[in-house]
């Protein structure tokens, strides 16, 4: 079965090529899929009636074509606004959307292949491992565990693996889901059983264990869900013992994920690969590749201008590329120039230059707020006057910046990742329950991000 959200992403991805950047950004991107009904109607939610009417009046045909391409020609759609959503949810509370067989290739984005994955020093080992697994699923590197920060290409590699296996081994049954989907499916199987209906737990087990390749994206979201962790552990064992391929992605290495040691051990039993932030040459190659695929016409100095920016997220970099091209298009130009790039991102560049947030900035803000020194907050002292600000600083660094727990630990005198996890979760809990802590954290965050 395939997640509705994943199918919808394919629809709006296609819409990006049919409408202007402004139309997509203002109207189309705001749509949210709620349900695919048993009578093959895709229910979409628009946050405003104005957006709904704009789409229906000017882009209904294009949207329907994209829905047909992804869901099939038998599927229609309906857009409901905020008021209609409440009534609809009440009326269809017991209805669940139908999903699709995961054995076919439609669950993978056809644009994400090995051929168009740009290989550089930051990702060459991940690429090689992924390609090896795709060629010999279940034979080598099992499980394959890939981790990195957001937007560095993990999902591209996952889809590339899926597309390759589906093409070269069409008889193999592949299941690709997000961790959130796995969790929700498991909870749903239990909820139905508790309501006195036929048990769905056996169906759940069959869906996840009767596959040749299981691909789980963002496994870190399983943290804190003890029952689901236990179920995933047994699912993992069932597949592994039968030489079925398991591929997992995460935003951090196994040792930093808050799960039982037995599951961490399973994650580490195969091959672990880290995708790093791309260097200038790789960023430039990615931009050129994206421009070629999307047929963006840009001067070479525009691509160099974008590649020179210290992006830590490839999606943001590609978004900048799209913005520059569409800005030039709106100005009536066929080819985007360096002047267009600078003008399109004038405010963004100024804002980013003014708001360079570093771990040291955050620590200094916390020290100033509580009246303590940098040496005290990063040192060994364990008095309440120091420990509380230290935990808040750790929480804010983790929340604002994309750093690993090990890196954060080094900032605070080499503390281990378990200490960092404890501090982060302690403050996260207090933010929910304690008004004073919430006020302090929000105040500090506002000061830090407005530097």
Rounded to an integer, what is the distance from CA 152 to the centroid of its chain? 10
In angstroms, rounded to a whole number, what is the distance separating the alpha carbons of residues 398 and 18? 38
Task: Please report where in the chains the tokens 């709106």 appear, as a residue.
Answer: 330
Claim to verify: residue 220 and residue 77 sit in the same structural domain: no
Q: Does 327 reside within a domain?
A: yes
- The answer to whether 118 and 282 are in contact (CB under 8 A) is yes
Domain of 376 in residue numbering reads as: 359-449
DSSP at 118: P
Query: Is residue 185 pLDDT above 80, yes or no?
Result: yes
Using 50, 70 and 90 to split pLDDT, how confident is the model at 143? Answer: very high
Claim to verify: residue 254 and residue 142 sit in the same structural domain: yes
Number of domains in the chain: 4
Query: Is residue 403 pLDDT above 50, yes or no?
Result: yes
- The answer to whether 218 and 250 are in contact (CB under 8 A) is yes
- The answer to whether 43 and 33 are in contact (CB under 8 A) is yes
Residues 46-77 have pLDDT tens digits of 888 888 888 898 888 899 988 888 887 778 89
Residues 308-327 have pLDDT tens digits of 876 767 877 888 888 888 77
The overall average pLDDT reported for the chain is 83
Residues above pLDDT 90, as percent of the chain: 28
Question: Which CATH number does the domain housing residue 424 bear?
Answer: 1.10.1750.10
Query: Is residue 364 pLDDT above 60, yes or no?
Result: yes
Claim to verify: residue 13 and residue 110 sit in the same structural domain: no
Claim to verify: residue 115 and residue 264 sit in the same structural domain: yes
Claim to verify: residue 245 and residue 287 sit in the same structural domain: no
Claim to verify: residue 203 and residue 112 sit in the same structural domain: yes
In angstroms, rounded to a whole number, what is the distance separating the alpha carbons of residues 226 and 371? 40
Query: Is residue 293 pLDDT above 60, yes or no?
Result: yes
Using 50, 70 and 90 to split pLDDT, how confident is the model at 164? Answer: very high
In angstroms, rounded to a whole number, what is the distance separating the alpha carbons of residues 243 and 117? 28
Q: Does 99 reside within a domain?
A: no
Residues 85-120 have pLDDT tens digits of 777 765 554 444 333 344 455 678 888 899 989 998
From first CA to last CA, the distance across the chain in angstroms is 47
For the ranges 14-23, 75-84, 380-389, the maximum mean pLDDT occurs at: 380-389
In angstroms, rounded to a whole number, what is the distance separating the alpha carbons of residues 14 and 389? 48
Q: Does 210 reside within a domain?
A: yes
* Per-residue CA distances from 89 to 30, 43, 227, 243, 396 (Å): 19, 11, 28, 43, 37
In angstroms, rounded to a whole number, what is the distance separating the alpha carbons of residues 341 and 287? 14
Q: What's the sign of the alpha-carbon dihedral 64, 65, 69, 72?
A: positive
Claim to verify: residue 213 and residue 301 sit in the same structural domain: no
Claim to verify: residue 348 and residue 363 sit in the same structural domain: no
Residues 6+ apart with CB under 8 A from 242: none
Question: Which CATH number does the domain housing residue 293 bear?
Answer: 1.10.8.60
The whole-number pLDDT of residue 379 equals: 92
* Per-residue CA distances from 189 to 151, 196, 245, 255 (Å): 32, 12, 24, 29
The whole-number pLDDT of residue 412 equals: 94
Domain boundary at 259, 274, 289, which? 274
Cis preceding-peptide flag for 369 (omega within 30 of 0): no
In this predicted structure, which of 98-112, 123-137, 214-228 has the lowest mean pLDDT? 98-112
- The answer to whether 336 and 327 are in contact (CB under 8 A) is yes
CB atoms within 10 A of CB 241: 8
Cis preceding-peptide flag for 147 (omega within 30 of 0): no
Q: Does 370 reside within a domain?
A: yes
Claim to verify: residue 63 and residue 194 sit in the same structural domain: no
Query: Is residue 238 pLDDT above 70, yes or no?
Result: yes
In angstroms, rounded to a whole number, what is the distance separating the alpha carbons of residues 404 and 312? 13
Claim to verify: residue 217 and residue 80 sit in the same structural domain: no
Query: Is residue 146 pLDDT above 70, yes or no?
Result: yes
The predicted model gives 126-131 an average pLDDT of: 95
Claim to verify: residue 259 and residue 133 sit in the same structural domain: yes
The whole-number pLDDT of residue 24 equals: 80
Q: Does 207 reside within a domain?
A: yes
The predicted model gives 11-17 an average pLDDT of: 85
Q: Does 98 reside within a domain?
A: no
The predicted model gives 240-269 an average pLDDT of: 91
3 state SS of 228: helix
Q: How many Cα neighbours within 13 Å face the side chain of 230?
A: 3
Residues 6+ apart with CB under 8 A from 383: none
Q: Does 226 reside within a domain?
A: yes
- The answer to whether 214 and 244 are in contact (CB under 8 A) is yes
Question: Which CATH number does the domain housing residue 77 bear?
Answer: 3.30.300.180
Domain boundary at 354, 377, 409, which? 354
The whole-number pLDDT of residue 82 equals: 79
Domain boundary at 292, 322, 354, which? 354
Instruction: Read off the pTM.
Output: 0.56
The predicted model gives 393-397 an average pLDDT of: 94
The whole-number pLDDT of residue 395 equals: 94
Claim to verify: residue 26 and residue 170 sit in the same structural domain: no
- The answer to whether 254 and 262 are in contact (CB under 8 A) is no
């Amino acid at each position: 079965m395939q997640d509705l959200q994943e199918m919808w992403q394919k629809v709006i991805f296609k819409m990006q090529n049919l409408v202007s950047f402004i139309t997509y950004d203002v109207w189309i991107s705001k749509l949210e899929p709620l349900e695919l009904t048993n009578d093959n109607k895709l229910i979409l939610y628009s946050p405003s009636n104005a957006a709904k009417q704009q789409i229906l009046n000017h882009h209904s045909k294009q949207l329907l074509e994209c829905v047909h391409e992804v869901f099939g020609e038998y599927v229609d759609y309906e857009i409901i606004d905020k008021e209609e959503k409440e009534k609809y949810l009440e009326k269809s509370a017991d209805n669940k959307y139908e999903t699709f067989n995961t054995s076919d290739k439609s669950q993978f984005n056809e644009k994400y292949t090995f051929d168009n994955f740009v290989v550089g020093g930051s990702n060459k080992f991940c690429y090689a491992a992924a390609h090896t697994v795709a060629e010999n699923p279940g034979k080598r590197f099992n499980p394959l565990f890939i981790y990195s920060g957001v937007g560095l290409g993990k999902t591209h590699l996952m889809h590339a693996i899926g597309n390759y296996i589906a093409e070269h081994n069409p008889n193999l049954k592949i299941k690709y889901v997000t961790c959130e989907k796995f969790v929700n499916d498991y909870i749903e199987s239990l909820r139905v059983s508790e309501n006195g209906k036929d048990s769905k737990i056996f169906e759940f087990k069959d869906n996840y264990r009767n596959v040749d390749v299981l691909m789980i994206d963002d496994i870190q979201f399983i943290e804190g869900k003890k029952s689901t962790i236990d179920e995933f552990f047994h699912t993992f064992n069932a597949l592994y013992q039968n030489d079925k391929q398991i591929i997992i992605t995460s935003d951090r290495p196994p040792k930093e994920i808050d799960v039982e040691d037995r599951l961490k051990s399973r994650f580490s039993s195969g091959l672990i690969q880290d995708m790093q932030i791309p260097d200038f040459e790789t960023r430039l190659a990615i931009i050129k590749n994206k421009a070629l695929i999307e047929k963006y016409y840009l001067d070479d100095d525009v691509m160099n201008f974008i590649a020179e920016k210290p992006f830590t997220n490839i999606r943001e970099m590609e978004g900048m590329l799209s913005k520059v091209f569409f800005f030039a298009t709106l100005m009536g130009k066929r080819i985007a120039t360096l002047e267009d790039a600078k003008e399109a991102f004038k405010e963004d560049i100024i804002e980013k230059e003014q708001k360079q947030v570093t771990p040291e900035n955050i620590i200094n803000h916390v020290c100033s707020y509580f009246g303590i020194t940098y040496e005290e907050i990063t040192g060994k002292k364990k008095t309440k006057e120091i420990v509380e600000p230290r935990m808040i600083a750790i929480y804010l660094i983790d929340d604002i910046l994309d750093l690993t727990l090990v890196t954060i630990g080094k900032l605070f005198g080499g503390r281990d990742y378990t200490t960092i996890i404890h501090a982060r979760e302690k403050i996260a809990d207090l933010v929910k329950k304690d008004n004073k802590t919430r006020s302090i954290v929000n105040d500090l965050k506002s000061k830090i991000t407005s530097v």
